[in-house]
Amino acid sequence: MRILDLPKNQISHLPAEIGCLKNLKELNVSFNHLKSIPPELGECENLEKLDCSGNLELTELPFELSNLKQVTFVDLSANKFSSVPICVLRMSSLQWLDISNNSLSDLPQDIDRLEELQTFLLYKNKLTYLPYALLNLKKLTLLVVSGDHLVEIPTALCDSSTPLKFVNLMDNPIDNIQCQDGEEMRESEQDRQHFDKEFMRAYIEDLKERESVPSYTTKVSFSLQL
């Protein structure tokens, strides 16, 4: 088996036997009820795409996933990560990382370990600053940090020497809106997160279509509430 596509079910756990799928290249378990990922997934060393978005309750990934050196795409959006998982920082081929709609308050200072990273989606977290290490990501062309709590950014982020073509920093800083008391329907929350993801995907596709902008040009979008 090379592709395992299981989105929008009610899966609450993955069996350890998933590690037996040695030829697995794509795993999509988005919008389920997962609270953890089995460490045995790290044995799927041919995996290239991992989508765990929209589970709402994931807080960490097992260190064993550091073995996934072929992964180019990871989507962890709409969960409860408070930091970028260590194993993700060791995925040396990673090109696309979406960790939006989580609880990140900062980024690791060694984020520049992701030397192949091209697209980094961080919107709707709790970030107040961006580390200068981002400037060391020489292949990063798209950065979205809208709807966070940014109060400062590296001024060199907008320098023409960076490879960044699109930087979206809209709606910073933003008021911290508390959720109402009582539990929302899980399905309603997942529907909203799914809409956000589809909107962002459409937004990124639109940016790619407009890549007739000269390569030396960086588009930066600001919308600050003072």
pLDDT tens column, 75-96: 999 999 999 999 999 999 999 9
Segment 38-59 mean pLDDT: 97
Write down the mean pLDDT value for the chain. Answer: 83
Q: Which CATH number fits domain 3-171: 3.80.10.10, 3.40.50.800, 2.40.160.100, 3.40.50.300?
A: 3.80.10.10
User: Are residues 64 and 44 in contact, defined by beta-carbon separation less than 8 angstroms?
Assistant: no
Domain coordinates in residue numbering, the chain: 3-171
User: Are residues 46 and 69 in contact, defined by beta-carbon separation less than 8 angstroms?
Assistant: no
Count the alpha carbons within 13 Å of 211 in the hemisphere toward its beta carbon. 12
Tell me the pTM: 0.80
| 31 dihedral zone (left: phi>0; alpha: psi -120 to 50; beta) | left
Calpha distance 205→209 (Å, rounded): 6
